[in-house]
Structure 1
Amino acid sequence: MGEYSKALEYYEKSHKIYQKALPPTHPDLAASYNNIGQVYYNMGDYTKALEFSKNDLEITGKTLPPNHADLAFPYNWLGKIHRSMKEYSKALSYFQKSNSIREKALPEKHPYLAITYSNIGDVHRLMGDYEKALAFHEKALNIQENVECDPLDCATTYMNVGETYREMKDYTTALTYYQKGLKIREEKLAKYHPDLAVIYHNMSKLYFSTKKYSMAMKYVQQAAEIGEEKLSSTHPHLVEYRETFEKIREKQ
């Protein structure tokens, strides 16, 4: 629901009980570290997210065989955190570890494989290799459009594909994918969910690039409104929305 402070409060209460009641290598304790790490990630506190996700990996790595499907989860999360910290080679390394496990442990059309394919694709985009990015996103969509998946995961892939095409300056194709992702997120998420702000911001950047400043302003205002409601004032996403807002305002 994007209520991250409330989520954190409950996860921390739960975590204290687990720490008292369970042995230090219990899988439920690992899952608890992961839950808290995910909330910190969503709150934009990547250092804390990294700390908790590493605790998760440490326990999971000790208690599971090296190619167990569940070991892919902490690797995937560490990849996401390093990606947000702009440490792309580290992110890629973790995503590839996650992917390697999933390719061995899961059926070839499993929805979790699609998630790692899309994450790998997104890091390739950030590293400027658009051809590789699109190849991985295509593998992701080949699963997500043909197998029963969480629609929100599919929406993320659409958004990632849109970002790739936007950076390639193919704005028409980019817009098509953004609209697909936006439609799903608007249907599935609360009106003020931070994940909606992300895609509104992407739309704004696209319209800015095509010099449609009034449309760009409309979308960045929506993004900033959600960000101000749901995120801390120092959250990297909100900082970015404000920067985009200023750039558009100068052009107008």
Structure 2
Amino acid sequence: MLADILAQLQKQATDGESGVAAAFELNWQSLEPEAQKLACLLSLFALAPIPWSMVESAASYSDLEFDLKANCTILVERYLLQELAEDTYQVHERIRELLQQKLEDLAEADELKRGFCQAIVVVAKDIPNTPTLREIAQATPAIPHLAETATVYQAWLSDDDLIVPSVGLGRFYQGQGAYAQALPWREQSLLDARERLGDEHLDVAISLNNLAGLYYLQGRYSDAEPLFIQALEMYKRLLGDEHPDVAISLNNLAGLYKSQGRYSDAEPLYIEALASAEKRLGTNHPKTISIREYLEDLRRNCQP
């Protein structure tokens, strides 16, 4: 299909000019402004199949209020967009390059980029820590577009959303046991937070904790320990000793020590985490119950 699209475009080319570029320009000039805006929005997505639901979401965040489907049909008819299946589309690499050039000439370029990023952030936030096979299948089509946002369009992510795409990608891969694929996203999250937000921002603590957790799962205990400690110290400074996230951080470090057989180091952390969780979350909260069970299990292991 892509070859057919390019062949059709080349047939429209004027002599002495680049075939695809010339045909593209002819098609572009004949488009209404609404179709042009939609085409530019589509150029922000990665070179991968694009679910229509994500286009609708990005268009909504970009305040595009015209008939999206009608204009999508026009783009397909003009060979600027390929329909792969029902409600799934893709832009050819060369066409995407030309559309991105047009995007930079649009007065709404920044608005489209921010809208695209906001739509991706919503998807990233929905990826669970331990996705089921169904959840993995649902999230998979969005993964290339999350990666595009986390790298190419990072500048159009707000400070609050800066690490959300990379954290979501880390969860997606880590939750499947694909630790090697998760690692660069855990590392990027930490780097991005430090570079834009500074060393004393909560997102740095979150990223430290996430990276330490991945190291722990990989059995890299000596790498995980200093990061867990840094994260714990930051949570206490930024949130206060009694914040629920401090209890979770204490529990994480205690779990690392327990895995190493360092029971005397783990027990006081579990005790502190349990006291904090009981106070802030209540005695019957799932996190409180989990910490209590970890402590009880540790004490059973310590018995002669």
Q: Give, in whole Å, the separation in 1 of the partners of 2:120 and 2:232.
A: 28
Partner of 1:204: 254
Alpha-carbon distance, 1:241 to partner:
0.8
1:184 paired with 2:237, answer no
- 2:216 maps to 166
CA drift at 1:126: 2.6
- How far apart are the structure 2 equivalents of 1:126 and 1:188? 28
Q: 1:74 aligns with which of 104, 112, 122?
A: 122
In the comparison of the two structures, how many residue pairs are matched? 193
Is contact 1:204-1:215 (8 Å) kept? yes
| 3-state SS of 1:208 partner | helix
Unaligned runs of 5+ in 2: 1-53, 63-111
Alignment of 1:82-121 (within 5 A): 82-83=128-129, 89=136, 92-93=139-140, 96=143, 100=148, 105-107=153-155, 111=159, 112-121=161-170
Change (3 A) 1:130 1:215: same
1:211 deviates by 0.8
- Of structures 1 and 2, the one with the larger relative CO (CA 8 A, separation 6+) is 1
The equivalent of 2:77 in structure 1 is: none
**Which residue of the partner structure matches residue 248 of structure 1?**
298
Corresponding residue of 2:16 = none
The answer to whether the aligner puts 1:137 opposite 2:186 as a matched pair is yes
For residues 219 and 86 of structure 1, the distance between their equivalents in structure 2, rounded to whole angstroms, comes to 31
What is the CA-CA distance between 1:245 and the residue it aligns to? 1.0
Give me the whole-angstrom Cα distance separating, in 1, the residues matched to 2:137 and 2:244: 26
In the alignment, structure 1 residue 125 sits paired with structure 2 residue 174: yes
The answer to whether the Cα contact below 8 Å between 2:124 and 2:169 also exists between their aligned partners in 1 is no
- What is the rounded CA distance, in whole Å, between the counterparts of 1:206 and 1:95 in structure 2? 33
* Residue in structure 1 matched with residue 107 of structure 2 by the alignment: none
| Other structure's SS at 1:136 match | helix
Letter in 2 for 1:244: Y
% same residue? 19
Structure 1: 5+ residue runs without aligned partners?
A: 1-56
Cα separation, 2, equivalents of 1:94 and 1:75: 11
Cα RMSD of the aligned pairs, angstroms, is 3.2
Note if 1:64 corresponds to 2:113. no
What CA distance in whole angstroms lies between the structure 1 residues aligned with 2:181 and 2:214? 10
- Which one has a bigger Cα radius of gyration? 2
Q: Tell me the CA shift for residue 151 of structure 1.
A: 1.2
For residue 153 of structure 1, the aligned residue among 203, 222, 230 is 203
